[in-house]
Amino acid sequence: MSALFNVVLPVFLVLGFGYVAVWRRLFSESSVDGVMSFAQNFAVPVLLFQSISQLDLQAEFNLSLLFAFYTGAFISFILGAMGARWMGRPPEDCVAIGFVCLFSNSLLLGVPITQSAYGNEALAGNWTIIAVHSPVIYTFGITVMEFTRSRGQDLSVGRVALRAMKGVIRTPLVIGILAGFIANGLMQAGLELPKGFWDAVGMMARAGLPTALFALGGVLFRYRPEGDGRAIAMCCILSLIVHPGVTFGLGSLLGLDTASMRSAVVTGSMPPGVNAFLFASIYSAGKRVAASSVLVGTTLSVLTISVWLAILP
């Protein structure tokens, strides 16, 4: 119960503040779009840049952690896509619904919850996951969707792959991550950037999570569950139970240390992120399932995350 009130509740209170502000018309939906645009396109990419540029890649890039986390993620994608196909959804919807099960909210919820539960020093594993999260997940999702859509269009494999790569490279989160890797390499080579630069980066980075959480609450107000109950339930089960369960089991088999196990399982237990809905919107596939899964999954995760925190060492 202490985990619920001391760790999970503060994060969801900020999110709920955004939800209530839009619900009571104290903050317009267009304003929420502006705040979310600022957070996702500027503040959060700068936060990623700051974190990855200062990460000790040799010490923290734990392959066992990544294997445990992403095995759970891709199993969830396969089960979600297969389940959607069994429900009679068209191929594009199956990919979009699988992506909902695949893309956990690792940054906007995973980082603040891990930070609240275990402190700043426990975030190294989270940043390791996040460093490859958007590039790997977006590349995979966009590639699968592009190949699915290209059936019968007589497009070459190279043409489809190039189209997918362009979509990934233009993503602000990916740009922030790649820039962080570049800065990390420059500093390892002995190039020191001025203090004023890092002070400005820090100011932007500190704005990232609170603005994103507030805006996420406002965005979720739009996505009321409407039909597709079986698909939404499947997405929530895969995201909140199967993904962290597989990660926990593999982490135990691989002998992950306590800090890595916490980062992997907590991140894996996060609900689908808004990016899952944005992905569905780009391709106009499975949008209602994606939107409702984000809302329902985020609501249910208040309880399921508390259970995972109680299970973890």
Banded pLDDT at 158 (limits 50, 70, 90): low
Per the domain annotation, does 276 fall within a domain? yes
Per the domain annotation, does 291 fall within a domain? yes
Counted domains in the chain: 1
Q: Are 160 and 146 in contact (CB under 8 A)?
A: yes
**Who contacts 280 (Cβ-Cβ below 8 Å, separation ≥6)?**
96, 99, 100, 286, 287, 289, 290, 291
Return the exposure string of 214-245: e unless at least 16 CB atoms fall within 10 Å of the residue's CB, then b.
Answer: bbbbbbbbebeeeebeebbebbbbbbbbbbbb
Which residues are bridge partners to 272 per DSSP? 104
CATH of residue 98's domain is 1.20.1530.20
Question: How many residues comprise the chain?
Answer: 313
Banded pLDDT at 311 (limits 50, 70, 90): very high
Nearest Cα neighbor of 223 from 160, 280, 266 is 280
Per the domain annotation, does 137 fall within a domain? yes
Tell me which of 15-29, 89-103, 114-128, 140-154 is least confident. 140-154
Which residue has tokens 């999954």? Answer: 297
Q: What is the residue range of 237's domain?
A: 59-194+224-311
Banded pLDDT at 241 (limits 50, 70, 90): very high
Q: How many CB atoms lie within 10 A of CB 261?
A: 22
212-240 pLDDT tens trace: 888 878 877 876 666 688 999 999 999 99
Per the domain annotation, does 201 fall within a domain? no
Tell me which of 9-13, 44-48, 204-208 is least confident. 9-13
Per the domain annotation, does 115 fall within a domain? yes
- Please tell me whether residue 104 adopts helix, strand or coil conformation: strand
Per the domain annotation, does 66 fall within a domain? yes
> Backbone phi, then psi, for 128, in 5-degree steps?
-65, -45
pTM of the model: 0.82
Mean pLDDT of the chain: 86
Q: Which residue has the higher pLDDT, 69 or 274?
A: 69
Banded pLDDT at 84 (limits 50, 70, 90): very high
- Please tell me whether residue 18 adopts helix, strand or coil conformation: helix
pLDDT surpassing 60 at residue 4:
no
Per the domain annotation, does 13 fall within a domain? no
Per the domain annotation, does 42 fall within a domain? no
